[in-house]
């Protein structure tokens, strides 16, 4: 049984330069993402002035609460078969 190799964080480019992905992510964590999503690299919502309006952690915690509140735990209804005709003629 082969053990799974740990995930690397330092990669070597085709030209031989080494890139530490963890360091790169941490350096650019507050940079505004490319596109029209108005978020930074961490997923925080960014307002028109460039300040954080809503943190990603708050949004994910709120989504978990909403999902738990909306998901009903209802037992399936049981059909009353005592008054039914065994031949299937109702």
Contacts within 8 Å (CB) and 24+ apart, 11-15: none
Q: What is the pLDDT of residues 72-86, one digit of tens each?
A: 666 777 777 777 777
For residue 20, the surrounding DSSP H or E stretch is: strand 18-20
Return d(Cα 25, Cα 56) in angstroms, integer.
16
Tokens of 87: 């031949």
Q: What is the pLDDT of residues 26-47, one digit of tens each?
A: 888 888 877 888 888 788 888 8
CB 16 within 8 A of CB 28: no
């Amino acid at each position: 049984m082969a053990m799974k190799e740990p995930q690397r964080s330092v990669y070597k480019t085709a030209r031989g330069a080494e890139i530490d992905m963890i360091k790169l992510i941490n350096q650019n964590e507050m940079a505004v993402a490319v596109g029209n999503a108005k978020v930074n690299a961490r997923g925080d919502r960014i307002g028109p002035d460039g300040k954080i309006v809503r943190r990603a952690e708050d949004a994910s915690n709120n989504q978990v609460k909403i999902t738990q509140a909306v998901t009903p735990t209802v037992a399936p209804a049981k059909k009353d078969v005592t008054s039914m005709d065994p031949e299937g003629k109702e």
